């Protein structure tokens, strides 16, 4: 069965510090991978998606970047965090053979102070 991991679960960072959030998927190959941000109790905003190693599409211009160094690894980064980067970050994967169902990781709660 497929499993998706995210770490860390919680992160508190000062403004101006760097960021690295990691997401890995097990039990599937060549998945589409996605990063979302969610405001409290609200819907999800798509930040980046990737259809393969080294292939990143950005949905929203922002202070963040993403990379996919391996087939089942997706990283969200920032060189200098802003207060507005605070939120709940979710990674998701999609099987190539599906009706676009996406399966989500447990999320990372980021607080920028």
Q: Does 86 bind other proteins (CB under 8 A)?
A: no
Say if residues 8 and 27 touch (Cβ distance below 8 Å). no
Say if residues 35 and 29 touch (Cβ distance below 8 Å). no
- Residue whose token pair is 């160094």: 69
Say if residues 90 and 38 touch (Cβ distance below 8 Å). yes
The interface region with other proteins, picked from 12-20, 67-75, 77-85, 97-105 by CB under 8 A, is: 97-105
Q: Does 80 bind other proteins (CB under 8 A)?
A: no
Q: Tell me the closest approach of the beta carbon of residue 92 to other proteins, in angstroms.
A: 8
For other proteins, the binding residues (CB under 8 A) are 32, 34, 41-46, 49, 51, 59, 90, 92, 94, 99-107, 109
């Amino acid at each position: 069965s497929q499993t998706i991991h995210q770490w860390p679960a919680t992160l508190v960072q000062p403004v101006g510090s760097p960021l690295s959030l990691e997401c890995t998927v097990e039990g599937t190959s060549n998945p589409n991978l996605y990063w979302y941000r969610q405001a409290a109790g609200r819907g999800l905003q798509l930040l980046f998606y990737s259809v393969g190693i080294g292939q990143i599409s950005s949905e929203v211009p922002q202070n963040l970047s993403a990379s996919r160094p391996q087939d089942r690894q997706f990283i969200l980064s920032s060189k200098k965090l802003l207060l507005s980067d605070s939120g709940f970050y979710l990674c998701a994967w999609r099987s190539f053979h599906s009706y676009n169902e996406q399966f989500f990781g447990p999320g990372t709660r980021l607080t920028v102070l």
